Amino acid sequence: MVATSATSSFFHVPSSSSLDTNGKGNRVGSTNFAGLNSTPSSGRMKVKPNAQAPPKINGKKANLPGSVEISKADNETSQPAHAPRTFINQLPDWSMLLAAITTIFLAAEKQWMMLDWKPRRSDMIMDPFGLGRIVQDGLVFRQNFSIRSYEIGADRSASIETVMNHLQETALNHVKSAGLLENGFGSTPEMFKKNLIWVVARMQVVVDKYPTWGDVVEVDTWVSQSGKNGMRRDWLVRDCNTGEIVTRASSLWVMMNKLTRRLSKIPEEVRGEIEPYFVNSDPVIAEDSRKLTKLDDKTADYVRSGLTPRWSDLDVNQHVNNVKYIGWILESTPAGMLESQKLKSMTLEYRRGCGRDSVLQSLTAVSGCDVGNLGTAGEVECQHLLRLQDGAEVVRGRTEWSSKTGATTWDTTTS
């Protein structure tokens, strides 16, 4: 009986006209409780057939077929029973709202998965955003760089300026990650108080392979003590795909007062800041002790005059960026050498800086081959000088070149 009563609210129950009026002929399983009646004098409730609770849609009463009214016996005239207006009854249908929100989130999740933002290569998983990180007990800084299309030259490989920019970027990011970068270009807090800056005095670079567009390189850098008032910074550049070392570089840095433009000893307060980061290691490149030749108009084979810095060539100290000097040195290198030879090593000595109003000359002397046969030459060595118009030296340099015939460049299909 209880099961039949519960089922009657979901399935149609036959009306009383389909039953025997004398109560005979009722079959098992067809019992109908709709025949329960009460007289008004009895003071009990009068229930009409197929009684149901008044249905509501969005808090409002809906007249549906088969709906019934409940009246009290003390009122001879039956009146429709209205549910009291409450806050709950006036709320919207939350199930529909939740269903809509769920649909939106599922659609958004599908679109997000279709983006497939995950890095496809292991070299990008290590440093996916190229921000760098401290490794090896906090003494070495490591950063990945992807070679961009605007960083390659006519020979489809990265330029020497691109390589040098990577070295400079990791050096500054190393100081920043160590928490020593103050309001200056690589200055520590104590250096900033004393108006001191680092300046590079000497740089040696050896390039075994040049990356090409789309390749990823991993750059490691660290610092070591050099004498009483110097600091050495070394770099190792690897092919992220093979782990092979492709570039090595070593540099010597000294301290200068940016107001007086004079070299300075390292104050004890500054030494206390930087000594915990010194690595006790040998240079990655054996020092080239050969003296760099001073060129003049008579000894130079090529001269390029009228070189002036652009605003974008200046660093935050209002001096020409060190990498720009390399570009100026190559301005006087013969075009035939740039087309047929690749730069494999470079040694630079920085004598002085220059500002945005400077006008410079670039001088180059070629040795080891006939100047007229650069296209067929094997190993070539060049001497360089970058000077101001008044003759003051800015940079002395020596470069070594090898033939591009059979030269090794990276295969992008394996990267």
For the stretch 374-409, pLDDT in tens is 656 678 999 999 999 999 999 999 999 998 864 444
Q: Say how far apart CA 193 and CA 267 lie, in whole Å.
A: 11
For 55-65, how does the pLDDT look when each residue is reduced to its tens digit (9 = 90+)?
555 555 555 44
3-state helix, strand, coil in the chain (%, to 5): 25, 30, 45
pLDDT digits (tens, 9 = 90+) for 270-305: 999 999 999 999 999 998 889 999 999 999 999 999
Task: Give the whole-angstrom CA distance, residue 381 versus residue 388.
Answer: 24
Of 252, 287, 322, which residue constitutes the final position of a domain? 287
Q: Do 387 and 308 reside in the same domain of the chain?
A: yes
> Over the stretch 86-135, which tens digit does the pLDDT of each residue have?
655 666 667 777 888 888 888 877 666 655 444 444 444 455 555 788 88
Query: pLDDT: is 24 or 131 the higher one?
Result: 131
Range of the domain at 213: 126-287
Q: What number of other Cβ atoms are within 10 A of residue 66's Cβ?
A: 11
Q: Do residues 170 and 282 both lie within one domain?
A: yes
Chosen domain end from 245, 266, 287 = 287
Among 176-180, 185-189, 312-316, which is the least confidently predicted range? 185-189
| Structural domain includes residue 411 | no
The number of domains in the chain is 2
Same domain, 238 and 273: yes
As a whole number of angstroms, the longest Cα–Cα distance in the chain is: 137
Provide the 8-state DSSP code for 55.
P
In this predicted structure, the answer to whether residue 26 has a pLDDT above a threshold of 50 is no
Residue 92 vs residues 59, 62, 74, 99: alpha-carbon distances, Å? 7, 15, 36, 13
CB–CB of 261/319 below 8 Å? no
In one-letter notation, the amino acid at residue 392 is A
Average pLDDT over residues 3-19: 43
Compare 294 and 32 and report the one with higher pLDDT. Answer: 294
Catalytic residue, chosen from 32, 50, 195, 317, is: 317
- Asked whether the predicted pLDDT for residue 373 surpasses 90, the reply is no
Cβ atoms of 225 and 281 within 8 Å: the answer is: no
157 and 247: one domain? yes
Asked, for residue 389, whether it belongs to a domain, the answer is yes
Report if residue 189 sits inside a domain. yes
Catalytic hit among 166, 321, 354, 384: 354
Does 354 participate in catalysis according to the annotation?
yes
Point out the catalytic residue in the list 166, 174, 319, 384. 319
Q: Which of 126, 149, 152 is nearest to 220 (CA)?
A: 126
Q: Which of 232, 267, 287 is the last residue of a domain?
A: 287
Enter the pTM of the model.
Answer: 0.66
Q: Which pLDDT value is given to residue 357?
A: 92
Q: Is 317 a residue of the active site?
A: yes
